[in-house]
Structure 1
Amino acid sequence: MQEEDEQLPPLIQSAYDQEDADEGEAWLISYADMMTLVACFFILMTAFASYDTKSFSKVAKEVKKYFRGANVQDKDEELTELITKIRAITQNREIVDIKSIDNGIEIKFNSEYFFETAEATLKQDMESLLSVMVDVIIDVNEEFIIEAHGHTDSRPLRSRRFKDNWELSAARSVSVIRVFEDNGFAKDQLIAIGYGSSRPEIPDRDESGDFIAKNLSRNRRVILLVKKPSEQLKLGLGHIYQENNQNN
């Protein structure tokens, strides 16, 4: 007959069983301590992190569009909102005409309200208006592409500063674009183009060859285009003029 295993008293056996269980789960304590330290580390990293607010907002906006199913309609809604807001800040002014175009909006100003004759320095009140307009555009979409087109009438230019109407129109468009650059737009979103007198809205002269005063005034204009970010745009004379002046 085999010798029966020695049986411990119940109280002592229970103590041994509890000790074995404690030894089997002891790793959980170390694991919990480690996870607590890791959590504290990331909390501190987050607390001391320095965020690029502009980039963060841009990413958040794109993520939001993705989850709500952004499409062409979203872009159209942005343009409609932009037109409404710009009309609101210019409602009592006769100097602006706003209309939709295929890939954005067009805002037209009579250049006489922006500049003195044969000058390219913005008048103070017009610079203030543009600054407000910049804030409105950024509020709708900070990635819009901005084009400024300068146009003159066909009369010969008399100026010591500018050689001809090409240079004058380019310099005026650059003056407008600088307001956008100074108020937060990146250079690669901005285009300045000078057309001189090459694209009149209406003829400057009557049938006898005499200048028509009201037509001259209408052809002297600044056109601002606000285009959807996806558009591939070409650089014009005004942009070249701007770069050359920066290098001189």
Structure 2
Amino acid sequence: MPPEKKIKKGSPPWMATFADLSTLLLTFFVLLLSMANMDVQKFREMLGSVQAAFGVQYEVQGDFQPVAVPTAAPSAQNAAAPSRRISEARAAMESRQMSEQVQNFVNETGLGSEVNVNAGNKGVRLRVKGHLFFEPGGAEIRQEAKKLLEGIAKVTKKFDFYLTVEGHTDDQPISTPRFPSNWELSAARAAAVLRYLAGDGVPEKRMSAIGYASSFPIAANTSEAGRNKNRRVEFVFTKQPPRLGID
């Protein structure tokens, strides 16, 4: 009977070397990972991009799907956008309603050819030729204009709009003890209209007056017809109050 062959116990000698090498590699990568600043979000994006490049697509958003990186948290302005659009739509609707009522009382006065009404999304502009309100070179309101002003006051009190009264002149120079220039004349006319409206019950805090002299002509000042158009008073109704300060 042949003698039994002795079997060596334990692993082969090369396994010890392989185990040491594996342990060293593992330690190396653990240290490398611990010292790295790992961005999980970018890691997921990278994996998602690789999967998309190889045609791996899923209908359900998972941890490793391509994701959109928000640049910033939604601002208060963006969050308020729907509310702002609703307010603008409401203002546009009220502007149309105001414009219709202004046009109606203008037609009742028979001054349709002397008055222009224009409605926009932000308000209403009522343009009246200056000779309906004032004598040449004067700032006293004519009796014939008071019926028109009463209608303007009625509409202003009904709608919650701010009113700016603008005085405009032609470019013909004026020099009197009371009005040294068209600046004083246009400002005095706008202020006279504002005072009349305030006396008719329009809240003063919703009104302002400004004189533009000949700075904003709507026609050429080379003819009497053009100068007649430029001598005017404009009523600007807006939902927002006039801006104050330099902000």
- Kept in 2, the 8 Å contact 1:201–1:218? The answer is yes
The residue that corresponds to 1:182 in the other structure is: 199
- Kept in 2, the 8 Å contact 1:191–1:235? The answer is no
The residue that corresponds to 1:128 in the other structure is: 147
The residue that corresponds to 1:82 in the other structure is: 98
More helix by share: 1
Residue correspondences, number: 157
- Cα 1:200–1:83, aligned 2, differ >3 Å: closer, same or farther? same
- Kept in 2, the 8 Å contact 1:115–1:122? The answer is yes
| Paired amino acid for 2:236 | L
How far apart are the structure 1 equivalents of 2:92 and 2:224? 38
How far apart are the structure 2 equivalents of 1:197 and 1:226? 21
Q: SS state of the match for residue 90, structure 1?
A: helix
1:167 equivalenced with 2:184 (yes/no): yes
User: CA offset at residue 179 of structure 1?
Assistant: 2.0
Q: Which has the higher contact order (CA 8 A, sep 6+)?
A: 1
- Cα 1:234–1:194, aligned 2, differ >3 Å: closer, same or farther? farther
Q: SS state of the match for residue 166, structure 2?
A: strand
The residue that corresponds to 1:11 in the other structure is: none
| Paired amino acid for 1:124 | Q
User: Equivalent of 2:170, from 153, 160, 173?
Assistant: 153
The residue that corresponds to 2:118 in the other structure is: 99
How far apart are the structure 1 equivalents of 2:183 and 2:235? 18
User: CA offset at residue 176 of structure 1?
Assistant: 1.1
- TM-score, normalised relative to structure 2: 0.59
User: CA offset at residue 195 of structure 1?
Assistant: 0.6
- Kept in 1, the 8 Å contact 2:217–2:230? The answer is yes
| Runs of at least 4 residues off by over 6 Å | none
Which runs of structure 2 are paired with 1:48-67 in the superposition (5 Å)?
none
- Cα 1:71–1:151, aligned 2, differ >3 Å: closer, same or farther? closer
How far apart are the structure 1 equivalents of 2:193 and 2:149? 8
- Kept in 2, the 8 Å contact 1:104–1:226? The answer is yes
- TM-score, normalised relative to structure 1: 0.59
How far apart are the structure 2 equivalents of 1:219 and 1:160? 23
How far apart are the structure 2 equivalents of 1:234 and 1:111? 27
Q: For each residue in 1:84-132, what CA deviation from the matched residue of structure 2 results, as whole angstroms up to 9, or x when unmatched? A: 1111111131211000234100000110111001000111121221112
- Kept in 2, the 8 Å contact 1:148–1:225? The answer is yes
- Kept in 2, the 8 Å contact 1:193–1:235? The answer is no
- Cα 1:135–1:232, aligned 2, differ >3 Å: closer, same or farther? closer
How far apart are the structure 1 equivalents of 2:137 and 2:127? 19
The residue that corresponds to 1:220 in the other structure is: 231
Q: For each residue in 1:151-202, what CA deviation from the matched residue of structure 2 results, as whole angstroms up to 9, or x when unmatched? A: 1011111433211100000000011111221122222211100011111112
- Kept in 2, the 8 Å contact 1:107–1:223? The answer is yes
User: CA offset at residue 71 of structure 1?
Assistant: 4.1
The gaps in structure 1 that reach 5 residues or longer are 1-69, 206-211, 237-248
Between stretches 118-127 and 180-189, larger displacement belongs to 180-189
How far apart are the structure 1 equivalents of 2:193 and 2:204? 13
How far apart are the structure 1 equivalents of 2:164 and 2:93? 21
Larger-Rg structure: 2
